[in-house]
Amino acid sequence: MKLEKVLNILLWVLLAVSAILIVSMMTNLSDDNADATMGTWINTNLSWSYFLLGASTIIAVVFALFHTFTDKAAAKKGLTALVFAGVVVVLAYVFASDAIPQFHGVEKFVTDGSLTTTISKWIGTTLYATYILLFLTIIAIALAPLTRLLK
């Protein structure tokens, strides 16, 4: 049996189990907050969704790693992307200031500890990273037609 056929059967089974669980939960819904049956069905559906999320995450990571290690071109592209992201983050961190911004009500955040110089530095880093990526995106959009004309 082909792998594609097995995967299709598996997907249909997962869809059927999900449909049965959702229909069962919908038929057991009630306005009574103390109804134990309703809570059980909600917990069962949440557990099922957690299982699906975890399984799909693991499968996606495993297949991505498998593809990366078996295809040298993909590994090179992935490493290039990681290096580029690292350079953007380092540049943004260098440009960011750790000064606490002054605005109305800032004292409340400083006194309760939710705004420190470290947090301010990382907020600035993410803002600068966004600005750098926006600038590079605008340049890429502007240069794309020119490169097509030159080819």
20-57 pLDDT, tens digit per residue, is 999 988 887 777 767 777 778 888 989 999 999 999 99
C-alpha closest to that of 22 among 42, 2, 37? 42
SS3 sequence of the chain: CCHHHHHHHHHHHHHHHHHHHHHHHHHCCCCCCCCHHHHHHHHHHHHHHHHHHHHHHHHHHHHHHHHHHHCHHHHHHHHHHHHHHHHHHHHHHHHCCCCCCCCCCHHHHHHCCCCCHHHHHHHHHHHHHHHHHHHHHHHHHHHHHHHHHHC
pLDDT at 1 over 70: no
pLDDT at 97 over 70: yes
Supply the pTM of this predicted model. 0.56
pLDDT at 119 over 80: yes
Is pLDDT larger for residue 138 or for residue 10?
138
Place 131 in a pLDDT band, splitting at 50, 70 and 90: very high
pLDDT, mean of residues 80-102: 92
